[in-house]
Amino acid sequence: MIQRQSEAIVLRAWPFQEADLLVSLFTREQGRIKGVARHAMRSRRRFGGALEPMTHVRASYAERPRQELVRLDAFEILFSPLSQPIDYARTAALQLVAEVLEEALPEQAPEDAVFRLALAVLQEIQVGQVSVPVTYFALWMNRLMGWMPELGHCVVCGLDLRGGTVWYSPTSDGVTCADDRRNGSLALSAESVSIAVRVFRGTVRELAKEPWPATQLESLQRFAVDTLERHLERKLTSARALSRIGRNSA
């Protein structure tokens, strides 16, 4: 048996055999792993509130030869989302980050850049401040996973699209000019593209301090989420919840 300790982010937890919980963790050293927290539904002594999604912890666990599940021994909370005010929008945003990490990352594949991205975004998702961190996270996840299309040229004819509107299809690669747009294409304005450029040059903390036009930010977030969903080959439940919040508050 190998004893390990690692920084980790809790992605989800669900019941498993009587009072146990099965927990999905994104660890810094080993990537995404799954483990069993014994008697976690009966006793809060070892884990307390550390099993809430997107809690940043120092996890102590043990690996056994030829077993997929590790034994989770204890969590030390480094940062809990529940330590700050929370509402429905913030809950949905945190769930989106957890859901994307759960679906996009293979098991036991360390991704330090993704881990640092998740921690940075986790700190910035606050009540009344959701759109910028979510958009930042979704765009950067597309880039880090190799899914982000090049926004400056039409993928069909090669036309230079910098400074103008681009068109994208939720079911196809790349962006196009207006003449080559596919059926069902959506527009991404020059202003939205300029925000994307800023995202890849700045930090989420810096960008969250700036006032961004809601319409441009919303269309960019939709583009980023559409791109994620196409490559994940599934709809993100948390993204649907966020979009409903946006419609209801419009």
Per residue in 141-191, pLDDT (tens digit) is 999 999 999 999 999 999 999 999 999 999 999 999 999 999 999 999 999
CA angle, residues 190, 117, 84, in degrees to nearest 5: 105
Domain check: are 139 and 243 in the same one? Answer: yes
Chain segment 23-33, per-residue pLDDT in tens: 999 999 999 99
Query: What sections of the chain are H helices per DSSP?
Result: 88-104, 112-124, 131-144, 190-199, 204-208, 214-232, 237-249
Residues 50 and 193: their CA atoms lie apart, in Å, by 38
Q: Is the pLDDT assigned to residue 114 strictly greater than 70?
A: yes
Report helix angle 214-232 to 190-199, nearest 10. Answer: 70
Quote the pLDDT of residue 232.
97
Quote the pLDDT of residue 44.
64
Domain check: are 135 and 211 in the same one? Answer: yes
Q: Is the pLDDT assigned to residue 249 strictly greater than 70?
A: no
Domain check: are 117 and 57 in the same one? Answer: no
pLDDT > 90: percent of the chain:
85
Categorize the per-residue pLDDT at 19 as very low, low, confident or very high, splitting at 50, 70 and 90: confident
Tokens 């550390």, residue? 50
Boundary residue ending a domain (83, 98, 115):
83
Domain check: are 158 and 129 in the same one? Answer: yes
Q: Give the chain's domain count.
A: 2
Q: Is the pLDDT assigned to residue 43 strictly greater than 70?
A: no
Domain check: are 164 and 95 in the same one? Answer: yes
Tokens 């400056």, residue? 152
Domain check: are 180 and 63 in the same one? Answer: no
Domain check: are 73 and 106 in the same one? Answer: no
Arithmetic mean of pLDDT, 80-97: 94
pLDDT > 70: percent of the chain:
96
Which structural domain range is residue 140 located in? Answer: 88-249
Domain check: are 175 and 153 in the same one? Answer: yes
Provide the whole-model pTM: 0.93
CATH of the domain at 145: 1.20.1440.120
> Which of 185, 236, 246 has its CA nearest to residue 214?
246
Quote the pLDDT of residue 102.
97
Boundary residue ending a domain (83, 112, 146):
83
Boundary residue ending a domain (52, 83, 114):
83
Q: Is the pLDDT assigned to residue 213 strictly greater than 60?
A: yes
Domain check: are 9 and 119 in the same one? Answer: no
